[in-house]
Amino acid sequence: MADIQPQDHRAYMQLALEQAKKSPPKPTNYRVGAVIVDTSSNEILATGYTLELPGNTHAEQCCLLKLAEKHGVSEDNLGYVLPKTLSLYTTVEPCSKRLSGNLPCVERVKRLAGNIKTVYVGILEPETFVAENTGRTSLKDAGIEVVAVEGFEKEILEVATAGHIKS
């Protein structure tokens, strides 16, 4: 899929940003991209973007649903079939609350706390839809490191908010 050197966090974030650009612009959501990497083999296991799959799907959710389908398990059972050496790259901090009633992405990631060791984020979630996102703290409490990949903030925000009414 992509020839990225191990631990090249900027290149993986760029790939996540390219995924985000595939998401349809809408005033009611952020366009987010995500990439899951097995750090032991440097293999990209899944990519995803907001609204890639049917329903009100988020980028991280799409990655996990595609992995579940690939392995023939439910999303709940992914931890049994995935390596214990994963990193998640996401352009926007995983959500801690879903206004749609779907399971928040933070909860999906926490279910894989034994597999996902680090979440790399491009920007923290703006408070447009969910004020006081507690995702970062919740992930850290589950033993998952959260690391900012700097230098993409302006472009990520432009992509994320395409379709929003600018005031």
pLDDT in tens, 97-155: 887 778 999 999 999 999 999 999 999 765 554 556 678 889 999 999 999 999 999 99
Domains and CATH numbers, the chain: 9-160 (3.40.140.10)
* Catalytic hit among 52, 60, 93, 125: 60
Residues 6+ away with beta carbon under 8 Å from 153: 122, 123
Instruction: Report pTM.
Output: 0.93
**pLDDT tens figures, 67-95:** 999 999 999 999 999 999 999 999 999 98
Residues 150 and 130: their CA atoms lie apart, in Å, by 22
Q: What pLDDT, in 10s, does the model give residues 9-68?
A: 999 999 999 999 999 999 888 999 999 999 999 999 999 999 999 989 999 999 999 999
Quote the pLDDT of residue 101: 77
pLDDT of residue 2: 65
> Annotated catalytic, 60?
yes
How many other β-carbons are positioned within 10 Å of the β-carbon of residue 155?
A: 16
